[in-house]
């Protein structure tokens, strides 16, 4: 019986840890989604090539453009 109890307790701990990890991942995802640079990159990616051309941005340079003030000073 003690073995069964220990196994059940271990499963409970594993589920608790999985729940904690899920909460941490949701928090990190929310932080990333609220990032203005990421929002800008997504809005540019949603544009068609003609719209991007009017802005002077090549499709392959969208991320560079959106994050230029952070990574490309």
Exposed, middle or buried: residue 43 (CB in 10 Å: 0-12, 13-18, 19+)? exposed
Pair 25, 18: CB distance under 8 Å = no
Residue 39's pLDDT is what?
94
Number of H helices, E strands in the chain: 5, 0
Q: Where are the domains of the chain?
A: 1-31, 35-73
Q: Write out pLDDT tens, residues 13-72.
A: 776 788 889 999 999 999 988 999 999 999 999 999 999 999 999 999 999 999 998 886
3-state DSSP call for residue 32? helix
Query: Within the chain, where are the H helices?
Result: 2-33, 36-45, 49-55, 62-66, 68-71
pTM, entire model: 0.58
């Amino acid at each position: 019986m003690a073995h069964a109890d220990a196994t059940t307790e271990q499963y409970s701990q594993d589920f608790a840890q999985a729940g904690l990890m899920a909460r941490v991942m949701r928090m990190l995802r929310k932080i990333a989604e609220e990032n203005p640079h990421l929002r800008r990159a997504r809005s540019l990616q949603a544009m068609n090539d003609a719209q991007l051309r009017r802005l002077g941005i090549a499709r392959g340079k969208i991320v560079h453009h959106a994050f230029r003030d952070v990574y490309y000073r």
